[in-house]
Structures are given as C-alpha cells and as structure tokens.
Structure 1
Amino acid sequence: MKLALFDVDGTLMDSQAMILASFTKAFTVTGVPLPPRSALLGVVGLSLVKAMAVLRPDDGAEHHESLAQSYKQAFWTYRTDGSFPEVPFDGALDLLRRLKARDDVLIGIATGKSQRGVRHIIDQFGLEGVFSTIQTSDDAPSKPHPGMILQAMAETGAAPQDTVMIGDALFDIEMAHAAGVKVAAVSWGFQPKAVLERAKPHAMVNDFNELEETLGSFWQDRAA
C-alpha cells in the first residue's frame, strides 16, 4: 500500500496571515521583541515550544512555554472571530479527493499543528474519513525527528519505499531523510525554494498537478 503524508501549514493550507498575527500577539503580550518575518515563517512546522526555543534561544524553557501558550490563545481567538481565515491552496482539496478515490493509496498528515487544529480543518472543509493517519505535535517529537513518519507507517502498514512526505519546510525534508522515505518539497509554502533545494528533496514541485505526477513517478519507479 502506498502512503502520501502531507504537512498542513504552507502545504495544504494558506495560513500565513493567521500564523504571523498569532506570533505578533504572543510576543507583544509577553513583552519581548518580535523577530523578523522571515524568522517567524522559518520555524513554521516545528512544535510551538521548539519554535519558540529557536526564536528565543537565550530564554529558559518556562518562557518558551509561556510564548507557546500565548500563541495558542491568540490563534484560537483569531480563528473564532474569523479575523484571518485559513484557506486551502488552489488544487489541494481536489488532489486529496483524487488520491482518496484510489484503492492503492492511503493519505496521512504529519504536522506541527495540534490534533485540535487538524480536526478543525477536517470539519471545516469536509475531509472526514480522508486521512488514514494523523500525526501531530501532540503525538510525536517535533520535526525533524522522524517519529511522525515512523508512527504513520506503523499505523498504516506502509513500507518506507512506498511512503512519500510532502511539505514546504526544511524540517519536512530532514524528517523524511531521517525516516528513509521519499520527499517532495512544494514551492508555494513559507520557506524559500533555495533553502529547500539545499536540503536535497527527491523532487521540487510547483503546483498540485505536478505533485500528483511526481507521486505517480515515485510509485511507478518503485513498482518497476
């Protein structure tokens, strides 16, 4: 059985405005300077506490946890009041449904979001039953640790050679390499294409149609 594992923020969902607003609020209420936009987007995909540790390396663990909690509160406030809508990238839902219709492919998620955050997206966009495995920051060590992918393969019975990770961040590529699986990096996400290419993904794709073709090529090569 083939397994396609998707990152969420920056890969399936355009949540950049919500993420930046939540970081801004978290740093403001805790009284510390806001890092540059590029630094904020550069940690998207990590678990929140680890992201705060990267952004504020000289602070203690207690302050990293405080920043993470402030971020969570801001994020859910903005989500509730609709200030910064999260929307799927063009073509994302169509590809998920096409893959779901195949009897030889399972779809999963490997994300730094929480289970609650993933559940909201599933409910909002009618994706109930699409994902055979959902790995989040609640379930495994933060990317780039390979735990999310290893757990997803264990849950689904997929072999490493039949598994592909799809993501927009350096951490996704590093996680896939550590787990011994193929990785397709997407160019429309939150990190520069040049950064991703230096990490040597097996493919770099520019839209969801190209991603579908790439997945087919990976799996065809495996079958051959």
Structure 2
Amino acid sequence: MGDPLRLVLLDIDGTLVDSLHNIVQAMHTACDVVGVTRPPEACVRRGIGLSLVEAVAQSLPDHPLDIHEQVAEHYKQAFMALRSSPDHQEHLFPGTREIIAEMAGQGWLLGLATGKSRRGLDSFVERHGFEGCFVTLHTADDGPGKPHPSMIHQALANTGCEPHHTVMVGDTTFDIQMARAARVGAVGVSWGNHAPDDLWRSGAHIVLETFDGLTAAVSSLTATPG
C-alpha cells in the first residue's frame, strides 16, 4: 500500500494574508452608510473568520439582525471598492508563498477554508498567483460557516482524506473549534487576529510562531502510529 493522502486546510485572512486594515476600513465605511457607530478595531478582529452577518453581529452586538444585514451588504460593496482600487494592498505574511510551495512539493494536498465569500477567495487566489495550488476550496457561501465543521467535512469528502490525516491551520478560535469538531489536527498561528492564549484555550494542538515550523507540525499530527 502507498502512503495515505494527507491534507492541510488553510484559513486566509490573518493566516496567509494581512487583510485586517481592509476589513476594518470596509466595516467602518458600511457603518457610516447605515448610520451606526463604528466599532473599535478590537471588536472587528474578534469576528474575523465568521460568516459575514455573524461577524457584523460580533462587532455590533447592541443592534438587531436587520441592521447587521444592512451593514453586511454595504460591507461587501465597500470591500469590493477597496479591492478594485489601484493602490489596494493585502500582503502575504512572511513565508506564506514558500511554505505553500514546499508542502505541495512534498506531496501534501492543500485546501482553503475561509470565512470569505467565494468571490473573495477567488480574488485572493488570482491576486497572488495561487491558481492550481489548492485541490479543495471552501467558503461561508457553501454552507454553515466556522466554527461548524461543515467545510472540513466537505474537504474530506472531496479529497478522500481521513480526519487523522488532515490538519486545519488558522489564526482564530473559530478555526480551532472547527478543527476539533471535525476531529482533525488543529494548528494555530500567533500572528493573526486572535491571541495565542485564546487559540490554546480553544483546543489547538500546536500554535506556531512562524511558518517555518508548519511542515513539522502537520507531519507530527498526521503521523501513522507504529
């Protein structure tokens, strides 16, 4: 028998790409249009990774659902305007491109599991030249968002990988909770939107300081006993 298929699912915002400034700006623009007080950056950060209406609700807990939905709709428009701006910037975190190339070269299957819309995911892949790098792609448009394990279950079904040969890598407690609910490896990264201590408390098996340790981390979590 050959080696088992092994899958690494990666979050995008706060894990692969530094998008916080754009997310906060779009949220503030949407709030201005709707006429509600802008939430502080810390509140916006706490909701990153959730589906959009849920993320808005995290930022604006004192407002009703109809306001959350209005803000979410204007957020989409504001973010699209930012993305199409000629001076738009959304830099990859150090080591992102290198680790994706390294793991693909070693035979790992790679996928994305993100709170972004499908349009946002496609834009990320195109903007950074990652076409063909990922074998399975999952967004909050496809079904229940994080921390529900649906995206991971879909990825397992698409690839034929087993949970014990699969790892989720992300920067938020929602990524870790999703991974643990799906019974796959849970790797947090310390440079994103949620604090490392919160990742540990949510059940992370490993929390990385840099991408240099990712290959070793996922190898240890997917190793076959004996």
Report TM bin, short chain.
Answer: over 0.9
Letter in 2 for 1:205: L
Q: Which runs of 5+ in 2 are unaligned?
A: none
2:183 pairs with 170, 180, 184, which one?
Answer: 180
Q: RMSD of the TM alignment (CA)?
A: 1.3
**CA–CA distance in structure 1, aligned partners of residues 87 and 64 of structure 2:** 32
Alignment of structure 1 residues 55-74 onto 2, 5 Å: 55-74=59-78
**How far off is 1:223 after superposition?**
4.8
Q: Say whether 1:214 aligns with 2:217.
A: yes
Q: What is the aligned length?
A: 222
1:24 aligns to what?
A: 28
Letter in 2 for 1:89: F
**CA–CA distance in structure 1, aligned partners of residues 175 and 97 of structure 2:** 20
1:163 aligns to what?
A: 166
1:114 aligns to what?
A: 117
Does the CA-based 8 Å contact 1:17-1:84 persist in structure 2?
no
Percent identity between the two aligned chains:
41
**TM-score, L = length of structure 1:** 0.95
Letter in 2 for 1:191: H
- Kindly provide the CA deviation profile for residues 66-98 of structure 1, in whole angstroms up to 9, marking residues without a partner as x: 111111111111111144411110100111111
What secondary structure, in the 3-state scheme, does the structure 1 residue paired with 2:50 have? coil
What secondary structure, in the 3-state scheme, does the structure 2 residue paired with 1:95 have? helix
1:136 pairs with 139, 162, 183, which one?
Answer: 139
Of 4-13 and 205-214, more deviation after overlay is shown by 205-214
1:197 aligns to what?
A: 200
Q: Say whether 1:75 aligns with 2:79.
A: yes
Letter in 1 for 2:25: A
Q: Say whether 1:86 aligns with 2:90.
A: yes
**CA–CA distance in structure 2, aligned partners of residues 54 and 123 of structure 1:** 30
Does the CA-based 8 Å contact 1:173-1:185 persist in structure 2?
yes
**TM-score, L = length of structure 2:** 0.94
| CA distance 1:212–1:83, shift in 2 (3 Å) | same
- Kindly provide the CA deviation profile for residues 144-183 of structure 1, in whole angstroms up to 9, marking residues without a partner as x: 0100000011101110000100000010011111111110
**CA–CA distance in structure 2, aligned partners of residues 219 and 155 of structure 1:** 18
Of 35-44 and 82-91, more deviation after overlay is shown by 82-91
**CA–CA distance in structure 1, aligned partners of residues 77 and 206 of structure 2:** 36
**CA–CA distance in structure 1, aligned partners of residues 86 and 77 of structure 2:** 14
2:153 aligns to what?
A: 150
**CA–CA distance in structure 2, aligned partners of residues 18 and 118 of structure 1:** 15
2:45 aligns to what?
A: 41
**CA–CA distance in structure 2, aligned partners of residues 96 and 17 of structure 1:** 24
Of 82-91 and 42-51, more deviation after overlay is shown by 82-91
What secondary structure, in the 3-state scheme, does the structure 2 residue paired with 1:59 have? coil
**How far off is 1:142 after superposition?**
1.3
**How far off is 1:3 after superposition?**
0.5
**CA–CA distance in structure 2, aligned partners of residues 76 and 223 of structure 1:** 47
Letter in 2 for 1:79: R
**CA–CA distance in structure 1, aligned partners of residues 80 and 215 of structure 2:** 33
**How far off is 1:193 after superposition?**
1.5
Does the CA-based 8 Å contact 2:15-2:170 persist in structure 1?
yes
